[in-house]
Structure 1
Amino acid sequence: MNRRRSLPLVLLPVMCLGAAGAVVAQEDHSHHGQHPPVEEREPTPTAEQPVEHTAMDHSTMDHSAMDHDPVDHEAMGHAMPDGPAPAEPITPIPPLTDADRAAAFPELHHAMHHDSGINSFVLFNRLEGWDADHGRAFAWEGQGWIGTDVNRLWFRTEGEREDSATHSADLELLYGRGVTAWWDVVAGVRQEFQPAGRTWAAIGVQGLAPYMFETQATLYVDEDGRVEANVEVEYELLLTNRLVLQPLVEVNFAARDDVERGVGAGLSTAEAGLRLRYEFTRKFAPYVGLAHERAFGGTADLGRASGEPEADTRWVVGLRTWF
C-alpha cells in the first residue's frame, strides 16, 4: 500500500510543469496571424472639415510663445499721421486760371445754337363751342410761323360766332425776331373784320416767362390814333403724361372810348379760363373747360346800353391741335 501512494506524489511536479507550458503555448497561438493594435489618432483637419475649436483644450496652450507683436504700419506703407490732418492736400491742386475758365465755358456763337433751316408750325390752341343764350356759339384762337430759329413770319387769328353771326374776327401778320433764347419781338399789322373793319399797326413781345408761363403782350395803334393793348398769359400743368390742365388769363386795355366797337377807356375786358385736355396724341387733344368773361368801366356801361350782359360764365368743349 505504501508504494501505490508514493507514485502520484512523484508525478505531481511533472504534471504541474506540463500544464504551465500548455497555457503558455495557448497564449502564443492566440496571437498568431493577427496584427498588433494600431494607435488611434485624431483626423487631420482639411478645407472641407473645419477645425472644431470648441473641442480643443486651450488650457494647455502656451500663449506666451505666440507672436502678438503689433503690426508695423510704417513698414507696410501706411504711415500714420501725427496730429490733425493737414489743411492742404498731399498732392497740391493747381490754381484756376482764365484759360481753364474759357475751356470750361466756351463762348456760344450764333451758328452754335441756331438752326438756319426753314421750318414751320401751326397751332390751334382753342377750337371750342358752347350753348349761349341765343343758340350755339363757336370760338377759335390760333397762331403759326414759318422761318428760322431767329427770323420768322407769324400769323395770329381769333374770333367768335354766335347764332350764325360773327361777333368778332381778326387776323395778324407779324415779323418776329428772336432776341434771346426765350423771347421774340414782333411787329406787323392787324386786320380787324368784326365788329368794325379796322387796320392796326402792332408791336409786342412774346415768349416764355420765368416758371414756364407762356406770355404774349401786344400794343395796337389804328389810323385814327386809337391805342389798345392785349396781354395773355397761360400755363400748362402736367397732371399725367396725357392729362394737362391749362389755366389762361387775358386782359384788354384801351386808351380812349370807342363807341362803335363798344370799348371804353381803361381796363375794358378780362377773361379767365381753365381747360382740361387729354392728349390722345400730342397733335390731337380734346378738352373740356370753364371760361368766365367780364367787362369793366366804360365797356360795361356800353354793353348794358346795348343789352349785353356785364359778365358771362360758360362751359366749353373743344379741341387743341397742331401740325
Structure 2
Amino acid sequence: MKYMIALMLAGTATPAFAQDHGHNHSMPMQPADPQDAEEAAEEEGSGEDASPPSSAMPMDHSQMDHGAMDHQSMQPQGEGSPEMPQPMGQSPVDHSQMDHSQMGHGSMDQSGVVDDQAGGEMDHSAMGHEAMAMDIPSGPPPASAGSGPARAADAIWGVEAMRESREQLRDEQGGQTYFWFQGDRVEYRAREGSDGYLFDLQGYYGGDLDKFWFKSEGEGSFGEKIESAEVQALYSRAIAPFFDFQAGIRQDFAPLDRTYAVVGIQGLAPYLFEVDAAAFLSDKGDLTARIEAELDQRITQRLVLQPRVEASFSAQDVPELGIGAGLDTVEAGLRLRYHFAREFAPYIGIDQEWRIGQSADYARAEGEDPSVTNYVVGIRFWF
C-alpha cells in the first residue's frame, strides 16, 4: 500500500510521465515536494526492504535505446494484474503506438543501431547521409588540375613501360586498322533482248581517319563484249563525323582504256542517305561527274527495301564514249533484300536506265534503246 500511495503522489507531482517524448529527455524529473513523499511513506511504516519512490530518481531518457524497448511488454498482462497508476485527469500512454523516430533523436534508424549492437552492420543509407552528398561541379577544372608533370607515371613504372602502355592505349582508343569488303550489287539482269549482268564492289583498309579505298564497277550482256569496267584506288580522309574526302585515280578497261584523276566525297547524309559523289578528269582532258544515293528502308529486322538513284554528267561531248554534254544518264532502281545474316542478303528488284539528250542520240545511232528496264536478281554481301 505504501508503494501505491508513493507512486500516486509522484505521478501527481511529476506530469512529465505523460508528456510528449519530443521534449528534452535529458532533464531529470524531481518531485514537487520530496518531504511529502517521505511523510506518506512513514504513515505506512518503514522496513529494511523499503526503497525510495521512483519519482525521486532522476531519469536521463537521452541515454535510453527506444528502438530496443518493447513497451508492450511493460504493461502487466492477464486478468487481475495491477494497472500502472496514471496521473489524475490524464489518459494512459500507449508506448507501442508512439513514433520514436520523432522523439528528438534525429533521423537515425534505431533498428540499424540495434542490429549493429547485435553484431550486424549498420545501415547508413537510412541515417540521412544522402543530404551530405556534394554537388558535382559543372564548371571547368581548376588551373591546378594540369599543373603536374606531363609524364608523372614514368617516375614510378619507368619510361619504357609507360611508352608501351601509351601506344597500346592509342591503338585501343581509335588507332586500330580495319579491312572491309562489300559486294553492294552483284546481280543478274533480265531484259528485252539479251540478258546481262552487273557488279559493284568496294572496300577499304585503314583507321578511323585515314583509309585506302578501292572500288570497281562493270556491266555487260552475256555472249557479248563487256560494255564498261573500271577500278578506282583512292586515299580517303575523314572530314566530318559521317563524311570522307577521297582522291585518287580511276582506270577504265572498257569500252576504252582511259585514266582519270578522281576527287569526291562519300558518306551518310541526313535522313540516312548513303551518298557517293565524284568528279573525274581524264588524261584526254574530259571532265565528267557521277553521283549515287541509296536509302535502306527497314520493313523488318531482316527485310529491307532499298531505293537507289544514280546520275552522270559531262562538261562536254565525248563521242567515242557515247557521252553527251550535260546530263548524260539516269538510273533508278528498287531492290528488296532479305538478310539471312548481317553479312549475306539475296535480293530481287527492278532497275530503269535512261540516256538523256545527246547521249540518247548516240545510243540510237548505235542501234540501242536509250531506255532499258532490267529485272534483277542478286546478292549483297560483306566481310
Taking structure 2 as the reference length, what is the TM-score of the superposition? 0.56
Question: Structure 1 runs of 4+ off > 6 angstroms?
Answer: none
2:219 counterpart of 1:160: yes
Residues 255-290 of structure 1 deviation map (CA, whole Å, 9 limit, x = unaligned): 000000000000000101110000111111100001
Q: Distance in 1 between matches of 2:256 and 2:278?
A: 19
Match of 1:137 in 2: 196
Q: How does 1:1-323 map to 2 (within 5 A)?
A: 97-99=139-141, 114-117=174-177, 119-165=178-224, 166-323=226-383
Measure, in 2, the Cα distance between the counterparts of 1:154 and 1:273: 25
> Could you tell me how far apart the structure 1 residues matched to 2:141 and 2:272 are?
35
Deviation at 1:306, TM superposition (A): 1.3
Aligned residues: 241
**3-state DSSP of counterpart to 2:323:** coil
- Structure 2 CA distance, aligned partners of 1:242 and 1:205? 29
CA distance in 1, matches of 2:334, 2:190: 17
- In 2: Cα distance, 1:316 partner to 1:216 partner: 22
Change (3 A) 1:284 1:95: closer
What is the CA-CA distance between 1:297 and the residue it aligns to? 1.0
The answer as to whether partners of 1:206 and 1:217 remain within 8 angstroms in 2 is yes
Retained in 2: the 8 A contact 1:134–1:162? Answer: no
1:98 shift after superposition: 3.8
Per-residue deviation, 1:307: 1.3
Separation in 1, partners of 2:191, 2:375: 10
Closer/same/farther in 2, CA of residues 99 and 297 from structure 1, 3 Å limit: same
Q: Counterpart of 2:342 in structure 1: which amino acid? A: R
> Within 2, Cα distance between the matches of 1:257 and 1:238?
41
Amino acid at match of 2:194: G
- Which amino acid in the other structure matches residue 208 of structure 1? L
- For 1:151 and 1:136, locate their aligned partners in 2 and report how far apart those are by CA, in whole Å: 40
Distance 1:229 1:99, change over 3 A: same
Which amino acid is the alignment partner of residue 256 of structure 1?
Q
Distance 2:345 2:136 in 1: 57
CA distance in structure 2 between the partners assigned to 1:185 and 1:112 by the alignment: 24
- Residues 191 and 375 of structure 2 are in contact (CA less than 8 Å); yes or no, is this contact kept in structure 1? no
Query: Radius of gyration: which is bigger?
Result: 1
The CA deviation at 1:116 is 3.0
Letter in 2 for 1:320: R
Specify the SS of the correspondent of 2:236.
strand
CA distance change for structure 1 residues 96 and 143 in 2, over 3 Å: closer, same or farther?
Answer: closer
> Unmatched 5+ residue regions in structure 2?
1-90, 92-101, 107-134, 146-169
Task: Give the residue type in structure 1 aligned to 2:264.
Answer: G
* Cα displacement string for residues 131-163 of structure 1 (whole angstroms, at most 9, x for unaligned residues): 233322111101011122221111101111203
Task: Call closer, same or farther: CA 1:152–1:314 in 2, change over 3 Å.
Answer: same
Higher helix share: 2
Instruction: Say if 2:191 and 2:373, in contact at 8 Å, map to a contact too.
Output: no
Using the size of structure 1 for normalisation, the TM-score is 0.66
The two structures, once aligned, show a CA RMSD in angstroms of 2.9
Contact 1:132 1:162 in 2 (8 A): no
Distance 1:320 1:113 in 2: 31
C-alpha distance in 2 between matches for 1:137 and 1:317: 11
- CA deviation profile, 1:282-316 (whole Å, cap 9, x unmatched): 11110000101111111111111111112111211
Q: Is the strand fraction higher in 1 or 2?
A: 1
Report the Cα distance in structure 1 between the residues aligned to 2:136 and 2:194, rounded to whole angstroms: 78
Q: Secondary structure at the match of 1:300?
A: helix
